[in-house]
Amino acid sequence: MEKYFSSKRLERTFRELVGINGRSLSERPVADYLKEQFSHLNLTVEEDEAAAAIGGDCGNLLVRMPGRNPSAPGLIISSHLDTILPTEKLKIVEKDGVYYSDGSTILGADNRAGVAVILECARALTEGGGSPIPLELLFTVAEENGLLGAKALRRGWLKGKLLYVMDSDGLVGRVVNGAPFGVKIAVTIKGRAAHAGIDPESGVSAVVIAARAIAGMKLGRIDDLTTANIGTIRGGDAQNIVPEMVDVIGEVRSLEEENLSKQAAHMEACFRSAAAEAGGEIIFYSHPDYPGYFFPEDSRPVDLVRRALRRMGTALTLESSCGASDANIINGLGIPALVLSVGYLKPHTKEESLPRRELINAGRLVCELVHQASLK
C-alpha cells in the first residue's frame, strides 16, 4: 500500500477541500465532493438521517471497504466535514512549506485535513488491491457546534471494533487518550417586571440575579481536571422595563465525574442563593452532554498507534485534554475511540496553519494504522 500513497495527490486534495465552503449544518457541498471522489474508486457512500434530526442539509457519511480478510476485527477512521467559520473566498497561501489562509478567513484545516488524509488512504488501498481488513470511513457533520452529527449516529450502523478520529491540533504523534465528561447547564431566572423609571422598587431584576450568581461563581479552570463556563445570557424586553426573565446556558467539563458533579452543584447553589436573596426564583436544569474516556498506555487502541508511529520513526505523545470530540460520543456507543493529531496549528483562528510535512505524516499514519491492524 505504501508505494501507492501519493503525497502530491494528498496535497492537491487538501487544497480542493479547503476551497469548499461548508460550515456546520451546511456541509452538503463537501459531502457531494466526497461522493464523487469515492464513486471514482467504485465505493458506495451511505448517508444517514442526521440532517433531519439536527436541522442540517447533510447527514453523516459512511464508506465501507471490505477486507481481504473479512473475519478480521474491523477498523474505523473518522473525521468531520464542517468548519467552525466560513471559508468562502478562501485564498490559500503556502510559505516555507506551511499552508495558511491570506488572513481574511480561517484555513479550514480543522478538519478538511482529516478528510483529505482519509480519502488518500482509500485511494492508496484501492490501487493496492483493497483493504486487508474490513475498514469503515466515517465523516460526521456539525461536529463544531456540539458534536451533533455524532450524537445522531444510529446505534449499530458502525460495525468496526476500534475507531480513530483524525481531529486534533499539534504535531502528528500526539494522541488524546483521555477526554472529559461534559454536563450542559440551562437556567431560567424569574424576577418581576416593573417600569424602570416610574416604579423600579416593585421589580425584581432577573439580570441582577444572574449577575450576582455568576460573580460569586468559580468559573474557568477549576482545577487540573475541571473547567466551567457560562456561555450565553439572554433576556429582557426593553430598556425601561425591569427584566422579568433571563435564560443562562453554561457547561462543566471534567476528567473525573465526581469533580463534574461537585462543580455543577456549586453553580446551582450560586443561582439559588442569588435568587432567594433578591426575591426571585430559578429553574435549574443540567444533563449529561457527552461521556468521558481514558485509555492507559498499555491499552490496545494506544498500542496500535504506537506501533504505527514506530514504523514511521515518529514519537508517541499521550495527552489528556478537556476538549471534547466525536470520540466522546462514539466511546459512549461502545466502540473504543481515540483522537489523533493531523498537524494543524491555531485552529478556529485566522492564524491557522498546516505544515505540508505534517499533512503527509498524517496521511501515512492512517495507512500504517490499517496495516498494523491487519497484523495478528
> What residues are labeled active site?
82, 143
Q: How far apart are the C-alpha atoms of 15 and 19, rounded to whole Å? A: 6
Q: Alpha helix (H) ranges present in the chain?
A: 7-18, 28-40, 50-54, 109-127, 148-151, 206-215, 257-278, 300-312, 326-332, 356-373
Q: Which three cell numbers stand for residue 215?
A: 460573580
**Calculated CA dihedral for residues 323, 326, 327, 332, nearest 10 degrees:** 110
Instruction: State the angle between helix axes of 7-18 and 28-40 in degrees (0 to 180), rounded to the nearest 10.
Output: 150
Cβ neighbours for 16, distance < 8 A, ≥ 6 positions apart: 33
228: nearest Cα among 322, 137, 156, 135: 322
